[in-house]
Amino acid sequence: MKIKSFSFKNNSQNWQIEKVSFDNLNLLVGGSGVGKTSILKALYLICNVAQGKVSMLEDVEWSIKFSHLDQDYRWDLKTSSIEKAFSIEPKQSEILDEKLSRFKDGLEIEILHRTSENSKLDGEKLPKFKRTESAIALLSEEDSIAPIFKAFKRLLFNETREDEYPSIDSDPSSLPLSLDSQSKQSFKETTINYTTALKAYYLERIHPQIFDEIKEAYIDIFPSVQDVRVIVKKESNNQYEIFLEIKGQGLEGWIPQYRISSGMYRTLIYMIEILSAPNGSVIIIDEFENSLGINCMPQLTDFILDKSVKLQFILTSHHPYIINNIPWKTWQLVSRTNGKIKTRRAIDIPQLDTASRLDKFTQLLNLLEYEDAVS
């Protein structure tokens, strides 16, 4: 999947995101409170609605354009809170209008159009169905909807904290034969929504060459680390905890996940998520520099730049090193005026286009100060 653009409105809270366009690598920059995180949260909501993880919405509407498997799509949706007569229950948000389209040779072809009165899929009338859930989730097994449903599974926001030990109710060593026999790409697609530690566990056993690549890249950044492994621990309630450990030099031996420093842990999580993501995934990271020390920023930034050919990245950052070392043409300046959040691509700003490489960051700071002053 690749997100091409989207716009979003929250009518109940009276704020909106004007159309944002994305490339393979995108760095959102701007002052605190201008809306960078709001953009990522809106994408998170859209992703969850598509997968049926969220059914109750406020009064919102959006339009998102994306591509998947060489096919271009657009998804438009509008909801409204409806208060039922003679009911003591709170207002419910229902979908008023939902439309899915694909594009071929410049022509828009309607896949689905759903209103409060009727619904059609591929030109055929549908019976009425649940108005609190998206048609993408409800009709995910239909031939024309299935690719769209699978596309939204490729938006990755997963970020497990070092003090979280995910658990499952079965022994992960009882490996499904179907998983064991899968190619790298099929394996990545199957495990895309697994927890980070569980992905690493199966990579270590089924595709050790990928796990070794993670370890080698990690040790290059942190030479004091000798090894990385995944531990499974059976609990008294017959649940299985899965967590990461690193082996340090000297007498300390294996360091459990909860004792790994935040920067070292976060770097390892990023590497596992990026190298286990199937081609065409979208990696979304808010405040990329959080907890990262200056010793790991350069190599981790280079790591992302190298992988942005087959993956799409949408990042936010305040850190001068991150901003300065990600190509300036990927910068998007985020600003807010009252309830409107808007972005401007760096390549569309003359001051940045004409500045020397050394002056671009200074020009960026001047622009951000100006945006803060006028908003």
3-state secondary structure the chain: CEEEEEEEEECCCCEEEEEEECCCEEEEECCCCCCHHHHHHHHHHHHHHHCCCCCCCCCEEEEEEEEECCEEEEEEEEEEEECCCCCCCCCEEEEEEEEEEEEECCEEEEEEEEECCCEEECCEEECCCCCCCCHHHHCCCCCCCHHHHHHHCCEECCCCCCCCCCEECCCCCCCCHHHHCCCHHHHHHHCCCCCHHHHHHHHHHHCHHHHHHHHHHHHHHCCCEEEEEEEEEECCCCCEEEEEEEEECCCCCEEEHHHCCHHHHHHHHHHHHHHCCCCCCEEEECCCCCCCCCCCHHHHHHHHHHHCCCCEEEEECCCHHHHHHCCHHHEEEEEEECCEEEEEEHHHCHHHHHCCHHHHHHHHHHHHHHHHHHC
* Token code pair at residue 230: 């995944």
User: Between the CA atoms of 219, 225, 231 and 236, what dihedral angle is there, to the nearest 10 degrees?
Assistant: -150
**Is a pLDDT exceeding 90 seen at residue 15?**
yes
Place of tokens 């090193």: 321
Per-residue confidence (pLDDT) for residue 290, from 0 to 100: 86
Report residue 241's pLDDT band, with 50, 70 and 90 as the boundaries.
very high
* Token code pair at residue 302: 């280079």
Distance in angstroms (rounded) separating the CA atoms of residues 262 and 121: 48
In a domain, 12, yes or no: no
Say how far residue 192 (Cα) sits from the centre of its chain: 12
Please give the tally of structural domains in the chain. 1
Whose CA is closest to 197, among 284, 258, 281? 258
In a domain, 185, yes or no: yes
In a domain, 360, yes or no: no
> Amino acid identity, residue 90?
P
Q: Are 74 and 65 in contact (CB under 8 A)?
A: yes
Q: Are 197 and 243 in contact (CB under 8 A)?
A: yes
Place of tokens 């940045």: 352
pLDDT digits (tens, 9 = 90+) for 323-338: 888 999 999 999 999 8
In a domain, 133, yes or no: no
Q: What is the mean pLDDT of the chain?
A: 88
In a domain, 232, yes or no: yes
In a domain, 36, yes or no: no
The model's pTM is 0.91
In a domain, 368, yes or no: no
- For residues 18-53, one letter each, b for 16 or more C-beta atoms within 10 angstroms of the residue's C-beta and e for the rest, the string is eebebbebbbbbbbeebbbbbbbebbbbbbbbbbee
What residues contact 315, with CB distance under 8 A and at least 6 apart? 26, 27, 28, 284, 285, 288, 304, 322, 326
In a domain, 348, yes or no: no
Per-residue confidence (pLDDT) for residue 55, from 0 to 100: 65
pLDDT digits (tens, 9 = 90+) for 54-109: 766 789 999 999 999 999 999 999 998 766 554 455 566 889 999 999 999 989 99
**Is a pLDDT exceeding 80 seen at residue 365?**
no
Burial of 196 (0-12, 13-18, 19+ CB in 10 A): buried
pLDDT digits (tens, 9 = 90+) for 142-176: 999 999 999 999 999 866 665 667 788 888 888 66
> Domain range spanning residue 271?
160-279
* Token code pair at residue 103: 């594009």
